[in-house]
Chains A and B, each alone.
Chain A
Amino acid sequence: MYRLRNLLVATCSLAAVSAHAATEITYWLWDALQLPAYQAAAAAFEKANPDIKVKITQTAWGDYWTSLSTGFVSGTAPDVFVNHLSRYPEFVANDLLVDIAPMIKKDNVPTDIYLGGLYELWGKEGKQYGLPKDWDTIALIYNKEMLAKAGVDPKELENLTWNPQDGGTFGQLIAKLSIDEAGNNGLSPNFNPKKVKQYGLLVDGAPDGFGQVEWSHFAVSNGFKFHDGPWAEKFYYDNPKLAETFKWIVDQMNKGFIVPARDSRQLGANGFFAAGKGAMALTGSWMINWYLDNAKFEKGFAPLPVGPDGRKSMFNGLADSIWVGSKHQEEAWKWVKFLGSEEGQKIIADYGVVFPAIKSAAEQAQQVMSKKGADVSPFLQEATDPKVTFLFPIADHSADVLRATKVAIDAILLEGADPANTMKEVNEEVNALFE
C-alpha cells in the first residue's frame, strides 16, 4: 500500500519535474485550415523532443501582421512564426530575424530537397532566414456540370490561349460559359450583362498590387514583370502591358463575363463558385480544401491559359522564421528544422491542406487531395515547370507598395479609372519609397 502510494507520488513528481523542465516555445500561424496539421506535427515533435513544448497560436491574416509588429515592439513576439515573402524584407531590414545559415551548416541540413527556387527565396547575401515549408501556385477550378451543359470538353481547358487584345480562346470560352437570366450565353448578341445568372469567370474583387490570384499571371504572360528580381529597388507598374491586362479585365467585367469587382469584394470568388454562380474561378492551391469541402458538386482543376509569353503562374513559398528576441533560439531551431524536414512535411502532407516544399511530400499531398475527389495535378505541374513559375515579388517597403497599388487598382476596377494613367502615377509613388 505504502509502496504503491510512494510510487505514485514519485511518478507524479517526476512527471511534474520533467514538465517543468520542458521549454515552451511559441509558434504563430494564420491559416486556420492548417491548424490541425501543425498540431499533429507538434505532437510528433514533442514526442521526439520531450523537453520542448510547442504552443501554437492561430491569428487570422487580417490581424496577424499587426499583432506580430506589436509583439516585436513590446518584446513579446513568438519564438517561431510563419513568414510570408511580402513581409519578410521589412523584418530583415529591421534585424528581426535570426540568420539560420550557421545552424544549417552545423547540423548538415540538406538544402536541395526543396522544389526549385524555394530555398534561395528565403536567403539574402549568404544569410538564410527560413526553411521552405510549402508552396502555392494558381490554377483554374471549373464546374463540371456547367461545362457539360455548354458542350465544353474539360480537355479543352488544358490548351487555352489568351491575349489582352481579343482574349484568345480563353476569352471565347468565358463568354460561352456566361449565361444571362434569359438563357443567352455571352456569344449571343442578346446577352444582357446586367442580368447575368452565371459568370464565365470568377475573380476576387479586391486584388492588391501583387495580384497573386487575380491578375499577375495574365500580366506576366503578357510580358509584364514586377521588377528586376528579389530585392530590386524599382518597380515597373507603368509598363503598358500591365495596363492592357487591366483594360481587358475591366472590359470583361463590363461585358458580364467576369463577375464585377464591386460584387465579388465581400463574398469572394470562392463564395460565388460554391453558390453556383460561375463556371470557372481563379484560385490558389491553398484554397483547394475549402472548395472540396464547400462546393458540393463535381468540379475539376485546370492549368492557367497560355499567354503571349507562355503560361505563367505566381510561385509563392512560405517559411518559418525565428525571432531575434527569442529566448529559446536553440529549441526554436529544432522546431524549424523539424518542419523543414521530410519527416515533418510528410505529417503535413497527410492532411492534404497544402503542398509541402519537399517534392516527395508534395506528391503525397497531391494523392491525399485526389482521394477527396479532385485531380489537383495542374498545380503541381505548374510548380515543377521553371518556365511557368515566376517569383512572388520580394522588395523592401512591400506593405507600403501593396497599400498604394491597392488603392490604384480599386480605382481601376471600381471607378473606371484609366489603367495606363493610374498605374503610371502609382508607379512613381511606389518607386519614390526607395529613394
Chain B
Amino acid sequence: MPPPASLSPSSTTASGLRPARRRSGLLRSQAFCGVVFIAPALIGFTFFYLLPTIRAFYIGLTNWSLLRAPKWVGFDNYVRLFNDEKFWKAIWVTFLYVLYNIPIQTVLGLLIAVLLKQLTGSVLVRSVMLTPFLISNVIAAMIWFYMFDPVLGFVNVMLKAIGLGAHPFFSDPNLALPTIAFINIWRHMGYTALLFYTGLQSIPEHLYEAARIEGSSEWRTFRSITLPLLRPVLVFVLVTSVIGSFQIFDTIAVTTQGGPGTSTRTILWYIYQEGFVSMRMGYASAMSTVLFLGLVLVTLVQMRVLRSGESDLS
C-alpha cells in the first residue's frame, strides 16, 4: 500500500508524526520492544500450544479418570492401542472418510473455480457459493439431518415422488459415512472453489495466449499450464483439508454419534468417547498423540509427493 501523499520525505516531520522526546535507550531498543510485542502471543503459544503438546504425551503415560490422581503406567497405553482393534477400526473409518471427502471436494472445487473464471466471476455468484461455508458444521449437519430424515426429509420425499423410495441414510451402516462426507463436501466446495479461483486468477494470461496460438486443446492446456501453476494452492488446499478431515467431529456429534454400529466412529470421536464418556483420559491422550504423529507423517508425505517446494511459474 503506498504511503499517503502527505508523508513526503521532504517535509520536516517526514513521517507526519511528532518527534518523540528522547526516551531511555531501552524503549528504543528493538530487542526490548520486540519482546514486549511478542509477549502476549508467546504466552498464548506456550500455554495453549507448546506445553499442551508435550503434556499430551505425558498424560498418555498415565491412567487418569480426572476424578482421582493420575496413575503412572509407562507405555502401557501406547502398547494397548496398537493392539486395540477399535482404535484401528476408527483409523480405518477416518481414512475412508478422507477418501470419500477430499477427492470429490477438491475436484468439485476446481470445477466450480473454472466455471467461475470462464463464465462469471461476479460477486453475487461467488457469495452464493461461499454461503455454505459461513454456517457452522453443526447447523449444516442439522439441516441435512432433517433433509435426509426417512419420513419427513425433503430429500426422501423427493426420492419417493420419483419412485426411488425413501432411504434411511443415517441408519444404514453402508450409507452413513458417505452421507457425512456429502455434508462436508457440500459445506466446503464453495470455499475450496474460491481458493482455486484466486489461484487461477494469478496465472498470467500470456501463457494461455501462447497455448492458443500453438493450437493446444482445452484439456492439454489445463493439464500442462493450469494444473502445474495451481500447485501451491493445490498443496495448501489438500494439506489443510486432509488435516481437517482427519479430525471430523461436529457432524458426527449431531447426526450419528459414531453409529450405526461403528461405521462412523472416527478417530476423534473414539478419542472423545474414551476420554470424556468413559473417563479414560490417559488412554485418550495416548491415542491423540499417536494421531498427531500420524498426521505429521501424512502431511510430510503429501508435501513430498506434491513437490510443494518447487514453483512452476518459471
Contacts and interface: CB of A to CB of B under 8 A. Distances in A.
Q: Do chains A and B touch in the complex (CB under 8 A)?
A: yes
Interface of A: 65-66, 69-70, 72-73, 94, 96, 205-206, 261-263, 265-267, 275, 399-400, 403, 406-407, 410-411, 414-415
Nearest to B262: A407
A94 B151 CA distance: 43
10 contacts: A94-B68, A262-B168, A262-B172, A265-B168, A266-B149, A266-B170, A266-B171, A267-B151, A399-B278, A410-B260
B173 A415 contact: yes
A94 B65 contact: yes
B279 A69 contact: yes
B148 to A, nearest CB: 10
Contacts of A205: 171
Contact of B173 (A72, A206, A414): A414
Contacts of B171: 205, 261-263, 265-266, 414
Interface string B49-77: 00000000000000001111000000000
B261 A411 contact: yes
B260 A265 contact: yes
B261 A410 contact: yes
B222 interface: no
A211 to B, nearest CB: 16
Contact of A266 (B168, B173, B277): B168
Contacts of A70: 276
Nearest to A400: B278
B263 to A, nearest CB: 9
A332 to B, nearest CB: 20
Q: Name the residue among B66, B173, B261 with the largest chain A CB count within 10 angstroms.
A: B261
B68 A403 contact: no
A261 B168 CA distance: 11
A403 B278 CA distance: 10
B178 interface: no
Given A72-B67, A267-B150, A400-B278, A410 B168 contact: no
Contacts, number: 56
Nearest to B174: A415
Nearest to B280: A400
B221 interface: no
B273 interface: yes
Contacts of B276: 66, 69-70
B261 A399 contact: no
Nearest to A73: B66
B259 interface: yes
Given A262-B172, A414-B260, 5 more contacts: A275-B151, A403-B273, A403-B278, A414-B173, A415-B261
A48 B68 CA distance: 38
A94 B64 CA distance: 12
A310 B259 CA distance: 34
Nearest to B281: A73
A400 B86 CA distance: 13
7 closest Cβ pairs, A-B complex: A410-B261, A265-B171, A73-B66, A94-B67, A262-B171, A410-B260, A262-B168
A407 B85 CA distance: 13
A314 B276 CA distance: 29
B141 to A, nearest CB: 14
Contacts of B66: 73
Interface in B270-314: 273, 276-279
Nearest to A411: B261
A399 B276 CA distance: 12
A400 B276 CA distance: 12
Contacts of A96: 67
A383 B270 CA distance: 39
Contact of B168 (A263, A400, A403): A263
Contact of B277 (A72, A262, A399): A399
A100 B259 CA distance: 39
Nearest to B167: A262
Contacts of B273: 403
Contacts of A407: 261-262
Given A263-B168, A265-B168, A414-B173, A206 B259 contact: yes
